[in-house]
Structure 1
Amino acid sequence: MTALQQNQVLSIQSTVVSGYVGNKCASFALQIHGFDVCPVNSVQLSNHTGYKCFKGQVLNAADIECLYDGLKQNNIHGQFSHLLTGYIGSESFLLKVGEIIQDIRDSNPGITYVCDPVMGDNGKLYVPEELMPVYRDVIVPKADIVTPNQFEAELLTGIKITTISEALQAMQCLHDMGPKTVVLSSTSLGSNGILVALASSVKNGNKECYKIEMPHKDAIFVGTGDLFASCLMVWMHKDNDLKTALEKTVSTVQTVITRTLDAAQEVAGKGNTPTPAQMELRLIQSKSDIENPKINFTAEKI
């Protein structure tokens, strides 16, 4: 077994040539915090799918198995301190990821696995529906931290979330699957244009829960979930405190999307709707905010 390297993450998710989603987004946020990022791409596209067209390739189970086999033969696979997974578009690829996660954990039981179970949003799936039971039965039970949105939490638990109480019930169901930390990255449980994120963690049999409110912005952002999961990984590692990690993560994402929307509207011109290209996350311009976030949103214990 190789020695576990601190702050070395294997990140398995999508990538794009132009723009910032998936590994293209997460890698930057992790690297400026001192993480060595080893990316494996589930798909590689010219740009994200919100544009009028996109082109690229979808990796299959054999592709990731080949890459992982290279790592394993060189005894690299056992040195990761963290695992991060995001968008995966095929059942066979996701099943292979489950095998890889287990193999890495067998080499290094102390590894931290953060799972963003990307399946859809606002009641709409954007992956094949057969991925849901794989996430529920194979992937989520292996995770230490899981970051679904409201719709994904409903899919995984079978619980319709219309109240904070139902959200907490769904989060407990996710805890029961295995993860010690559950964060609902966004829910529509607020009022008057307010979104709510919820976080719950179990340590030594004790449970702590928090909620944090943020404004809803009437615009389409792509890559925010990838930024959220990577920032949460950073702050849970550095601070080991759920409340602080949630506050820094939400504050970072809100700062980035505010800068993005302001810049996009300026380029588009008054009264015009920004294009997908104009709405790409202003990630590079937000380097200092990602590195040292100002806490603009505070979490309340529940």
Structure 2
Amino acid sequence: MAGATNADIKRVLSIQSHVVHGYVGNKVATYPLQLLGFDVDPLNSVQFSNHTGYKTFKGPVSNEKELATIFEGLEENELLPLYSHLLTGYIGNPLFLRQVGHILKKLRQANPGLVYVCDPVMGDNGQLYVPKELLPVYRDEIIPLADIITPNQFEVELLTEKEVRSEAAVWEAMEWFHQRGIKTVVISSSDLGQPGVLRAFLSQQNGPRLAIDIPKQGGKDLVFTGTGDLFASLFLAHSHGSKDIANVFEKTIASLQAVIKRTVASLPNGGNGPVKAAERELKLVQSKTEIEQPQVLLKAQRLN
């Protein structure tokens, strides 16, 4: 099968978690990508009943041999040239993650223009929720292969081994990634904004430095699961073929915030008070219009 150019194809191999109930990992990434014109082939790193923020969860974790076997099927059927993008999210096994590196190399042999979007899901708010053995695999083997990376503030600190407590530290961290060959670095959320405001950052190698202030929605302690996975999928879709990275950033934030707004509106008392995990599942399907036609309300600030 002859390789196609990335202008001709829009197909994502998405390697991350799957849940039966709710919206995280491949469950939250697939629908927006499809709405925005991409074929999506989900390859699941785990298959759980629900995300791990519930009181209990059940299900199997895939290992590197199972991943290799599934990928061999794609390879033997000459399907690798069909992929324009690789997207990775939650992976809980260092050997599985290392196998992803082998997969990426084969995908790029089949299509040298393939774009790799890496969401290095390891933790948030100071809490690590993957085995610590994944960290050196990400840092030394996977991160240097990425075109776009979308960590949160805590994950940036883990990877760079430096605290990020100021905007100066943000740009130092961005440069750390650029020095490893990553063209576009996006910190999807940080606590460096004003009280009640999150601040997201973007840096392109030899390009603009941008920031967007994002007002927090809902109650003070309200936390949603799957927002980082949704961010990565939206950013992948909007960045494809675009030369206006500020607009890509703005549209990604716009759709994400619209989904969160709709979810908050569905909660008892607007999320002020106790909220069950099932009630906090993102209202993804109900936000179809906002995903297809994002209304930009929060503008990117250019900082260089």
- With the shorter chain as reference, the TM-score category is over 0.9
Q: Which residue of 1 is the match for residue 56 of structure 2?
A: 53
Q: Which residue of 1 is the match for residue 224 of structure 2?
A: 221
Kindly tell me the number of residue pairs found equivalent between the two proteins.
297
Q: What 5-or-longer segments of structure 2 have no aligned partner?
A: none
Deviates more, 1:209-218 or 1:84-93: 209-218
In the TM superposition, residue 216 of structure 1 has moved relative to its aligned partner by 2.3
Structure 2 distance, partners of 1:228, 1:128, is 23
- The question of 1:158 aligning with 2:150 is answered no
- The question of 1:293 aligning with 2:294 is answered yes
TM-score by length of 2: 0.95
Amino acid across the alignment from 1:296: L
- The question of 1:73 aligning with 2:65 is answered no
Query: Retained in 1: the 8 A contact 2:211–2:302?
Result: yes
Q: Which residue of 1 is the match for residue 253 of structure 2?
A: 250
In the TM superposition, residue 252 of structure 1 has moved relative to its aligned partner by 1.0
Structure 1 distance, partners of 2:273, 2:185, is 39
Equivalent residue for 2:36, pick from 19, 33, 36: 33
Q: Which residue of 2 is the match for residue 209 of structure 1?
A: 209
Moved over 2 A (4+): 1-5, 265-268
Structure 2 distance, partners of 1:260, 1:272, is 15
In the TM superposition, residue 264 of structure 1 has moved relative to its aligned partner by 1.7
TM-score by length of 1: 0.95
Q: Which residue of 2 is the match for residue 280 of structure 1?
A: 281
Structure 2 distance, partners of 1:265, 1:77, is 46
Amino acid across the alignment from 2:11: Q
Structure 2 distance, partners of 1:300, 1:265, is 35
Deviations 1:177-203 (A, max 9, x none): 12100000001111221110000112x
In the TM superposition, residue 159 of structure 1 has moved relative to its aligned partner by 1.9
- The question of 1:143 aligning with 2:146 is answered yes
- The question of 1:3 aligning with 2:6 is answered no
Amino acid across the alignment from 1:41: N
SS of 1:187's equivalent? coil
Deviations 1:235-278 (A, max 9, x none): 1114332100110111111111111011022598xx64221101
SS of 2:45's equivalent? strand
Query: Retained in 1: the 8 A contact 2:19–2:51?
Result: yes
Amino acid across the alignment from 1:284: V
Amino acid across the alignment from 2:61: V
Structure 1 distance, partners of 2:94, 2:278, is 30
In the TM superposition, residue 106 of structure 1 has moved relative to its aligned partner by 1.7
Equivalent residue for 1:170, pick from 166, 169, 173: 173
Structure 2 distance, partners of 1:127, 1:140, is 17
Matches within 5 A, 1:19-30: 19-30=22-33
SS of 1:177's equivalent? coil
Structure 2 distance, partners of 1:267, 1:57, is 35
Query: Over aligned residues, Cα RMSD in angstroms?
Result: 1.3
